[in-house]
Amino acid sequence: MPATTTPTSPLHTWWSRRPPTAGAAVMATGILSVTLHQTGYETLSRLALALASVTWLALAADFTARLLWDRARWVKEAATPAALTAIAATTVLGTRFSVLGWQTLAKALLALAAVLWPGLLVAVVRHWHRGMPGAVFLGCVATEGLAVLGATLAVTEASAWLAHAALVLFWLGLVLYVVALTRFDLRQVAHGAGDHWVAGGALAISALAGSKLFAADSARLYLWNDDDTSTLHTVTVALLVLDLAWYAALLLAEIAWPRPRYDIRRWATVFPLGMTAAATLSVATALDVPWLDGPGEALMWIAVAAWLVVTAGAVWAYAHPGSTTGAGARTSGTDVTSTTRR
């Protein structure tokens, strides 16, 4: 009797080939929700939050299913830097939910991210080597995401220990950034598929974490002394300046070496654009630099435009399978997503 195969829908086939970098879509959409809230566009912010939440739930279900029933693939993908998008996406959503007032959900997401973080981070760092793409900076992004959410909840919960834990993660994230920079292939600036922007995005989320920690201090908590406050102020400003420098350099590189074709790693371009806007707006508030509000909102609209372009590219790629590098099809030695495909 001939073997039979179970037919699958195009959506199922497309989803089964999705590389770990798809988590960057949640990060990008979630941070847009944060920036839209910061600038008062609450309806658009909640719409973005809903989209990010639905996508996160789908990815979480897939993450769990692979862990239970496709352990070999799960272990293989967990060793790639892109796996850390799971942690970063969870902390971004948790931060937005905390601002929305849903503290129980935000704390649950912090706990989930904190449980996943050490195992995934160790698995990823063990496989770091020279000549890596921009995804190498996701170790910093995931760690700083925990710092951002921890500092945000420290304010709402009046929790000094949570703020101090977030401070430790903040400094650890910066150490991971420096180490990742030594592993980063600078040629990616000219030829990267999109995740090279995380080199700047990691600094942006670090600046955001610094501003959150700076703002967490109060007479009720008294977290930092004068030296601590001065150091946080200086480091946060320096991180934002470095981030904006990366932003300008990467933008010029996109103009000099255009990469018009859609690639799923372009979500890792949208995230740094949105995170730079969020960091600029947060620093403006926390450090009382009101003139940064205008540039911050301008950066937000650039990120929104990029999100729309990448979304259109994703829809087009789904409708025309095989016509783009949307599944991470390139097989260069620096392409971490190519190692995750069957």
> What is the percentage of the chain residues whose pLDDT exceeds 90?
69
What pLDDT band is residue 11 in, cutting at 50, 70 and 90?
very low
CB within 8 Å of 92: residues ≥ 6 apart: 26, 27, 30, 31, 34, 52, 145
Q: What secondary structure does DSSP assign to 15-46, as a single string?
A: HHT--GGGHHHHHHHHHHHHHHHHTT-HHHHH
Report yes or no: 55 and 74 within 8 Å, Cβ to Cβ.
no
State how far the Cα of 192 lies from the Cα of 182, in Å rounded to an integer: 17
> What is the percentage of the chain residues whose pLDDT exceeds 70?
87
How many Å separate Cα 159 from the centre of its chain?
A: 25
Q: What secondary structure does DSSP assign to 245-276, as a single string?
A: HHHHHHHHHHHHS---S--GGGHHHHHHHHHH
Is 14 or 285 the better-scoring residue by pLDDT?
Answer: 285
Is 322 or 34 the better-scoring residue by pLDDT?
Answer: 34
Can you give the pTM of this predicted structure?
Answer: 0.88
Strand partners, 132: 184
Q: What per-residue confidence (pLDDT) applies to 220?
A: 73
Q: What per-residue confidence (pLDDT) applies to 250?
A: 97
The model's pLDDT over 97-122, given as tens digits with 9 standing for 90+, comes to: 999 999 999 999 999 999 999 999 99
> If you average pLDDT over residues 58-83, what whole number do you get?
82
For residue 137, the 8-state DSSP code is G
Task: Identify the CA nearest to 189 among candidates 237, 229, 142, 248.
Answer: 248
Tokens linked to 336 = 């971490």
For residue 222, the 8-state DSSP code is -
Give the architecture-level CATH label for domain 27-318. Answer: Alpha/alpha barrel (1.50)
The model's pLDDT over 161-211, given as tens digits with 9 standing for 90+, comes to: 999 999 999 999 999 999 999 999 999 999 999 999 999 999 999 999 999
Report yes or no: 338 and 326 within 8 Å, Cβ to Cβ.
no
Q: What per-residue confidence (pLDDT) applies to 342?
A: 33
